[in-house]
Amino acid sequence: MVIVALGVVALLLVPGAAMGAGLPVTYKMPSGTPADPDGPPAGANDWACRPSAAHPRPVILVPSTANTMAVNWATLSPLLKNEGYCVFSLNYGAFRSPLGLRYYGGQPIESSAAELGAFVDRVLAATGAPQVDVVGHSQGGILAEYYVKFLGGAPRVKTIVGLASPTKGGTLNGLLDAAENLRRRSPQVGNALFALVEDNAPSMMQLRIGSPFIAKLGSVPEPAGIAYTKIASRYDPVATPYRNVFIDGANNVLVQQRCRLDFADHGALAFDRIALREVRNALDPATAGRIGCVLVLPFVGG
């Protein structure tokens, strides 16, 4: 009931905007379509940018499944740009399903991770930097983990920050468990359902608990020399259980342990000033800090 009430309140409240050094930064999920739906968010993909001594590594922002970089990183990209980072982002895994659905992030994760690898090479060549930091939301974080483990990316990456990225797989709030139970009780119906989902959302099925992909991802330890931060919310209905976001040896952050007023769901984590403070702490530990406890709304941020 609390979450529902806050969702209603979200229609009435507009989280405040913070002005950075140049670009406006608003801790609020965009409500409309960007002017360039497939283009970069504000502050990203300036190919003439050269990293500074204060921020020597470019930051690559990788969006979640069925999202675009323009929407997913509408807050973090200008925030980092204002702080002096070279910021880059990409869309990946463009997919058209048998049902005619078109969205990003639908291709098998292995091929999307290869797209990320090619983008990392492009960023390094353009900036002259030896390494990058990667911030990924949901599947975006998994791409980075797969890239450094299986595609030779470990020497090129210093930091990986995963927002709601379920390294150990998820259940989609129990929906995938229910589908598995249906398949056990009625194999013909259950198998048909799984085939339908796999045809139209192959990457989503790869991220379910117990999938061959998740088994492979967990079969190799995290490469030495990479700093991992994993950020989760207990109110996330997608990356469930939320503890499956966390990995051994990482800086694992549950945002509700930072603030009880943080009700961010899966999408709102990318517009959550508490979560994004943790992202910035991970990118620059020397200036790490905390912010006061503020209300963060589901579906909106704050």
CA distance 252 to 234: 13
What is the model's pLDDT at position 6?
A: 36
What is the per-residue burial (b if ≥16 Cβ within 10 Å, else e) of 135-169?
A: bbbbbbbbbbbbbbbbbebbebbbbbbbbbbbbbb
- Decide: residue 29, CB within 10 A, 0-12 exposed, 13-18 middle, 19+ buried: buried
Q: Which residue, chain included where needed, has tokens 């503020």?
A: 294
What is the model's pLDDT at position 16?
A: 38
Helix axes 139-150, 109-127, angle to 10 degrees: 80
295 lies in a domain?
no
293 lies in a domain?
no
297 lies in a domain?
no
What is the model's pLDDT at position 97?
A: 84
106 lies in a domain?
yes
What does the block give as tokens for 168? 């150990």
Q: Which residue, chain included where needed, has tokens 């952050």?
A: 253
What is the model's pLDDT at position 242?
A: 97
pLDDT tens string 188-210? 656 666 666 676 778 888 999 99
254 lies in a domain?
yes
**Which residues contact residue 13 at a Cβ distance below 8 angstroms, ignoring those fewer than 6 apart?**
297, 300, 302
CATH of the domain at 154: 3.40.50.1820
pLDDT tens string 38-79? 999 999 999 999 999 999 999 999 999 999 999 999 999 999
What is the model's pLDDT at position 18?
A: 39
The pLDDT averaged over each successive group of 10 residues in the chain (302 residues) is: 37 37 91 91 98 98 97 98 98 92 94 98 98 98 98 98 97 59 61 66 89 97 97 96 97 97 98 98 94 93 96
Question: Which amino acid, one-letter code, is at 246?
Answer: F
Percent of the chain at pLDDT > 90 equals 77
89 lies in a domain?
yes
Q: How many structural domains does the chain have? A: 1
18 lies in a domain?
yes
What is the model's pLDDT at position 8?
A: 34
224 lies in a domain?
yes
Taking the CA atoms of residue 265, residue 231, residue 19 and residue 12 in that order, the dihedral angle to the nearest 10 degrees is: 10
What is the model's pLDDT at position 199?
A: 67
What is the model's pLDDT at position 13?
A: 38
Range of the domain at 109: 2-287
